[in-house]
């Protein structure tokens, strides 16, 4: 469990334009790399229904803070045993701001190798961003991170 001070730091840093821009650039570059693989999302909803499909999503504290800051609403209940609270009718309701792990995961057969390579490549860039900007690094399961971060979201 990360303490309130860590979340405050991630929130503050994720709102700085030069850091937010780096996150967006990283996501955009990942999107381009995925397009080149020709993967197709079949909207099965499996990727976001974690326990049911034996798939967990891990995310950095900085990404969670950035994501929560972009959210229009924080009136969200996080159930640690259920699907992602942002999955609605099988689809992601926050597609444009979803974290790295969501972007790279496809349930399509034959995608595992390039997914792993891309994930490692872009996760390394995310680690580098933390190092460059002296941001504390923590990596955690998505719902646990959301449950901690959402109540601490600063008022804007």
Rounded least distance, CB 86 to ligand SF4, Å = 4
Closer to ligand SF4 by CB, 19 or 92: give it: 92
Closer to ligand SF4 by CB, 30 or 92: give it: 92
Closer to ligand SF4 by CB, 34 or 57: give it: 57
Rounded least distance, CB 146 to ligand SF4, Å = 9
Binding stretches for ligand SF4 (CB under 6 A): 47-48, 57, 84, 86-87, 92, 94, 98, 102
CA atoms of 39 and 60, how far apart (whole Å): 25
Rounded least distance, CB 123 to ligand SF4, Å = 16
Cβ–Cβ under 8 Å, residues 88 and 95? no
Q: How far is CA 37 from the centre of its chain?
A: 21
Distances (CA, A) of 64 to 8, 107, 110: 12, 23, 29
Rounded least distance, CB 6 to ligand SF4, Å = 21
CA atoms of 82 and 88, how far apart (whole Å): 12
**Three-state DSSP class for residue 129:** helix
Closer to ligand SF4 by CB, 11 or 86: give it: 86
């Amino acid at each position: 469990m990360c303490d309130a001070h860590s979340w405050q730091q991630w929130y503050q840093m994720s709102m700085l334009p030069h850091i937010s821009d780096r996150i967006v650039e990283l996501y955009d570059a990942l999107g381009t790399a995925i397009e080149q693989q020709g993967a197709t999302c079949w909207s099965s909803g499996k990727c976001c229904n974690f326990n049911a499909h034996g798939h967990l999503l891990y995310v950095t504290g900085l990404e969670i803070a950035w994501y929560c800051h972009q959210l229009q609403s924080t009136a969200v209940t996080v159930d640690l045993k259920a699907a992602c609270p942002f999955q609605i009718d099988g689809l992601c309701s926050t597609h444009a701001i979803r974290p790295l792990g969501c972007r790279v995961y496809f349930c399509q057969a034959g995608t595992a190798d390039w997914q792993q390579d891309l994930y490692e490549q872009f996760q390394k860039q995310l680690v580098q961003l933390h190092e460059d900007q002296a941001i504390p690094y923590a990596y955690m399961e998505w719902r646990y991170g959301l449950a901690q971060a959402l109540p601490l979201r600063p008022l804007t």
